[in-house]
Chains A and B, each alone.
Chain A
Amino acid sequence: MFDSLSEKLQNVFMRLRGKGRVTEADVNEAVREVRLALLEADVSLPVVRDFIGRIREKALGVEVLESLQPWQQVIDIVYKEMVALLGQQQAPLNVASTPPTIVMLCGLQGTGKTTLAAKLGTFLKKQGHRPLLVACDIYRPAAIKQLQVLGEQAELPVYALPEDQRKGPPTIARMAVEYARQHANDFVILDTAGRLAIDDELMDELGQMRAFVQPHEVILVVDAMVGQDAVNFAEQFHKRLALTGFVMTKLDGDTRGGAALSIRAVTGVPIKFIGTGEKLDAFEPFYPDRMAQRILGMGDILSLIEKA
């Protein structure tokens, strides 16, 4: 379905052969196809509208190059614009000038925060760091145990309070940072409970945790399969917590992951990593160009453009 964007554009422009200039009607037709492809990739509607507006502007008045078909040029414009919107380059992790670097993970329920804590820990450990994982999810059944099991698998220390020692997550986070200082852990990764952006009480709790430990990274973990709602909750989390980064998880499936474009567009905050499986090494830096290709279902198209 999606893979045919290039075909569709090819069809749109088929009858253009021999024309010197792309007309407004051609562009409108092409833009309709792009719009559809973006919606089918879960890019949110307002972001699509805005994006399409810019594409239309750029595509109008494009001189048809000898070597390129118009559809290739439109794809090229769409692709470049999308890479730019996704951040152009890979965004690295913010690191504290005096360790420990504190990374706070947050997000909706079930997006992959706990798994990500262990993945990020594994990634940092491989680079010679000494991360500490911290269990701040005191709500979900067996959430602490889950982090402990993952910590064991990754051979990473996990900071957790025993159940009878009832402390709120912000306090746990503060205690963990103290512990990290004493034990020479140069990264502290805080796993928090999943929550809705409209849950005031739990959002305040995160705000308080942020104020308590002043993290260097506040990362929203986003399920790559998410649909149109992405703009709503990303904006709300950002408003309340001043996010510093996103991670998109579960990109090992067949989702297009258009939400990447949405969240980046509404917040301006970079996407830093992606999760590509349940195993602890299924974790990679985020590359805007690869994501753009995925959203557009491009694959082979790129090589066509490059050849031109």
Chain B
Amino acid sequence: MPFQLFQKIRNTIEQVVGGGRGVDEELYEELEASLIQADINVQTTQRLIGALRRAVEEEGIRSIQQAVEALKREMVAILEVGDPSTMGLKEASLPPTLYLVVGVNGVGKTTTIAKIAHMLQSRGKRVILAAGDTFRAAAIDQLAEWAQRTGTDLVRHREGADPSAVIYDAIRAARARSVDYVIADTAGRLHTRSNLMEELRKIHRVAERELERVPDEVLLVLDATTGQNAISQAKLFMKYIPITGIVLTKLDGTARGGIVLSIADDLKLPIKLVGTGERLEALEEFNARRFVDRLLEV
């Protein structure tokens, strides 16, 4: 049975922390296995283990707790990319602030938009949602229902309409009604579909022209259950539009979402928000330390 082995790996860290063992080869192997099983890619994993080895040597680390702590420190350092002051969502000095939300199919874009709207409304802001997914069956109805539940305005066109036009209208409506924020939904699209990616470029361009600046946030939504493919997603989305940050959804499951560590490492994209459920309140600001603790939890 392969799964006895699996069970063994999962249990090791626990045993190790409990027992009187010191830092040895087996520990490195166990840690490496946990990192890989959290979906961190092999390259980042090896870099991390290499850094840990150096730290153990240089700092004379003996105990396993200290070693794990050093590893976590290294991971947090990778995750804290960019300027810490821009970790939250940016707000425009000249309203409306525009957030454009993009990603592959089914990752949680529409739900995340509802959650962000809810968060802003509860801070007394006014929000318009732009139903930019004019493609998927009942995608507009889904956003409309969220708009109703959160008490936000909605700008929608018919199914099949040009998504750029919807977002353009939403920006104008926000100005006319003095609304502070526009959050634009887009249809899920695989990053490998170049025609759909061109469409996204157009949406971005139209929004930029109307705003006379780039959108304040272009959020790439990634599903925490996603494996290595998330790197390809991030790379290709970045190629077409300037992504400003990542939203990592579905962290309430058993997946660890470690691939964002490789993305932060490789692509220097900050993770801004985390989705932890299907309810409106299930949205948190990303906290590197908390994320890392959870990632190595047994």
Contacts and interface: CB of A to CB of B under 8 A. Distances in A.
B225 interface: yes
Given A45-B33, A232-B254, A250-B190, A266 B3 contact: yes
B2 interface: yes
B223 to A, nearest CB: 7
Contacts of A94: none
Given A42-B227, A223-B225, A146 B142 contact: yes
Nearest to B5: A46
Contacts of A50: 2, 5
Given A45-B36, A142-B145, A227 B225 contact: yes
Interface in A107-164: 108-112, 139-143, 145-146, 148-150, 153
Contacts of B104: 225, 250, 253
B2 A49 contact: yes
Interface string B245-286: 000001011111001000000000000000000100000000
Given A46-B2, A228-B37, A109 B250 contact: yes
Contacts of A45: 6, 9, 33, 36-37
Contact of B41 (A40, A143, A150, A153): A40
Interface stretch (A22-30, A64-72, A254-262): A254-262
Interface string A39-60: 1111011110110000000000
A150 B137 contact: yes
A254 B39 CA distance: 17
Q: Identify the 6 closest CB pairs spanning chains A and B, nearest first.
A: A227-B227, A110-B106, A46-B6, A50-B2, A42-B227, A229-B255
Interface of A: 36, 39-42, 44-47, 49-50, 108-112, 139-143, 145-146, 148-150, 153, 196-198, 223, 225-233, 235, 250, 252-256, 258-259, 265-266, 278
Nearest to A235: B3
A197 B256 CA distance: 15
B297 to A, nearest CB: 13
B228 A253 contact: no
A47 B225 contact: no
B9 A253 contact: no
B253 A142 contact: no
30 contacts: A45-B6, A45-B36, A46-B3, A46-B6, A109-B106, A110-B108, A112-B105, A140-B142, A141-B141, A141-B142, A141-B146, A146-B137, A150-B137, A223-B225, A225-B226, A227-B225, A227-B226, A227-B255, A228-B38, A229-B225, A229-B254, A229-B255, A232-B255, A233-B254, A253-B104, A253-B192, A253-B229, A256-B229, A266-B2, A278-B105
